[in-house]
A and B are shown apart, each in its own frame.
Chain A
């Protein structure tokens, strides 16, 4: 059994991974991200990044992209009340990634401090979630 097969089984036997051109994808709203990170680190995988996006429900979808010997494993999960456990303690590569997602979407990664990375010290987190309104042009119709 190769390394990738071992990872797929360890993260969750019976879970269905979809094969695409750019790697395998797992959709698991209740994914245990700390267990996933532990399995990946143990197997010598590299955390490429985490892609976050906001949903209409007020929650966020996070995709953990891992590189295993050149192949991509993409594990998607959902936040619960805007929070997910931090994996930065297990995986140092997640440190800045989590800080950046907190800056952009105010996702709360529990179990760690979340100082601003891209924002100034007193700026509120969640800059990508703010509703920006276009100012009316001077002299124009409102």
Chain B
């Protein structure tokens, strides 16, 4: 006999509002229905009623975790429209902050995944690591969440203390390599919960348009930092970790290896930051036209389309977040899985409902 279990929209296992209706036959999931509209704020509509400077502050509020990459991508699209060249120094600072944000996001995700697995010690280890990153971001930007670092034409703050950035990057790299990776990779509980669970094949990942670590854990190698470099990525040496198993464990491995690469990127960028201005003119004229920009956010490719009619208010702002394409893919991942693995499979794509609903 089949039965339906409604999870959410408000549920202790899911900190953000989302409703997952699980249809089961015994303990086996037969089908899943997702509802994600609970955070809809009409950010795109609002952005088309704010001037470009105001829209930067607005798009930063799309997400509380990857806020910086939203402003970076929006500013990049507007800079393309306006034909602005961003200084080298600003490009390096953007790269450093966006990689720190990726580290904080992945540490948060690893902690939540550990908690879902019932591994409280690992959860505390991840969050202690994340705290170092949050403190550093606060020192750099003045804020722990919405950093306000990007502006059209550059960045709002200079890199005040490069040595502190290097110290934290080295410390995090060591902690991830020496503690997190061995803990996640060798622990029997983690393997038992994650290996072979929530499999997404390469073909399904491509057909559903999966992005980021979710896609790279299924054998797709695309990383926007490599395929369409922006900021200072073209000048920096890093690897793109790819796994082929397509299960939850592969997604864990990809994110942990990405943390090591992020530290490498930050260390190189801090060493290479050139002198120069950090932003361009205070007022920018945006001519009529349209442009797109893509970035590799912590959860995958972030896409902005901006159209201008020549006024100081954009006439169209389209935001496609990585979670918008990764969340629907949990349905094929969950079908056939054990009911007890539903929360873990859902967590494995690092879903952000705030980004999805906008």
Q: Which of B119-127, B189-197, B316-324 contacts A (4 or more CB under 8 A)?
A: B316-324
**Chain B residues, Cβ within 8 Å of A119:** 37, 40
Q: Considering only CB atoms, which chain B residue lies closest to A45 in the complex?
A: B206
When A116-B37, A117-B36 are in contact, do A74 and B209 touch as well, CB less than 8 Å?
no
Are B328 and A22 closer than 8 Å at their CB atoms? Answer: no
Are B40 and A48 closer than 8 Å at their CB atoms? Answer: no
**Chain A residues, Cβ within 8 Å of B36:** 117-118
Are B80 and A49 closer than 8 Å at their CB atoms? Answer: no
Are B209 and A93 closer than 8 Å at their CB atoms? Answer: yes
- Which residues of B275-303 are within 8 A (CB) of A? 291-294, 301, 303
- Name the prevailing secondary structure of the B interface residues: mixed
A7 at the interface (CB under 8 A from B): no
Complex Cα spacing A41 to B357, Å: 27
**Chain B residues, Cβ within 8 Å of A41:** 207
- Name the prevailing secondary structure of the A interface residues: mixed
Are A51 and B207 closer than 8 Å at their CB atoms? Answer: no
A53 at the interface (CB under 8 A from B): yes
Of A49, A91, A92, A118, the contact of B37 (CB 8 Å cutoff): A118
Most buried by A among B36, B224, B328: B328
Q: Given contact pairs A72-B292, A120-B37, enumerate 11 new A-B contacts (beta carbons under 8 Å).
A: A22-B80, A22-B228, A51-B305, A67-B222, A92-B208, A93-B207, A96-B325, A96-B328, A116-B37, A118-B36, A127-B45
Q: Which A positions have Cβ atoms within 8 angstroms of B?
A: 20-23, 41, 44, 46-49, 51-53, 63, 65, 67, 69-72, 74, 91-93, 95-96, 100, 104, 116-120, 127-128
7 inter-chain pairs at a CB distance below 8 angstroms, sorted by A residue, are: A46-B206, A49-B303, A53-B307, A74-B292, A92-B208, A93-B325, A96-B328
Q: Which B positions have Cβ atoms within 8 angstroms of A?
A: 36-37, 40, 42, 44-45, 80, 206-209, 222, 224, 226-228, 291-294, 301, 303, 305, 307, 315-316, 318, 320, 324-325, 328, 357
Question: 7 smallest A-B Cβ distances: which pairs?
Answer: A70-B227, A93-B209, A49-B320, A51-B318, A51-B305, A53-B316, A118-B40
